Amino acid sequence: TVLLAWPSNLVAHGLSTTPTLPTHKRLHLLTFDLDDTIFPIGPVVAEANDAMISRLQTFGYTDANNDEIVAASKRIRNELREVGEALTYTDLRKQSIRREIMRLTDLKHHQVDDSVVEDVFDSWLSTRHASADKYL
């Protein structure tokens, strides 16, 4: 799915706004969702997930498991939904990585090294970008 957006060119009149005809046609936003519009998302995310697990294993978390990370993501989203809060996908991924480290150790949330979480996330993200380029 592709979404294109041009400015609305709204002009204020008193307390209300009245749309006017566009004076130019410069595109202001172009976005794509993740439904294989540009590249097959399945293999891209799978490669990124493999890189994430490999990086966790590099840090000694040899039993790291992507299914556990996905389950943690679902739990986090449900927890947030219950209290009416939300997270960005980046923060959700990082929190899921943190929970996987907690699952594999006796560490509490605040004891997990932020630099490890960032490093593992960066591995996932850079692989996702490289994989997307590969599948274009």
Secondary structure of 61-77 as H, E, C letters: CCCCCHHHHHHHHHHHH
Residue 45 exposed, middle or buried by CB count within 10 Å (0-12, 13-18, 19+):
middle
Please give the pLDDT value at position 11.
43
Please give the pLDDT value at position 7.
52
Please give the pLDDT value at position 44.
93
Tell me the whole-structure pTM to 2 decimals.
0.75
Please give the pLDDT value at position 101.
98
Phi, psi (deg, nearest 5) at residue 97: -65, -45
- pLDDT < 70: residue spans in the chain: 1-25, 27-35
Please give the pLDDT value at position 43.
93
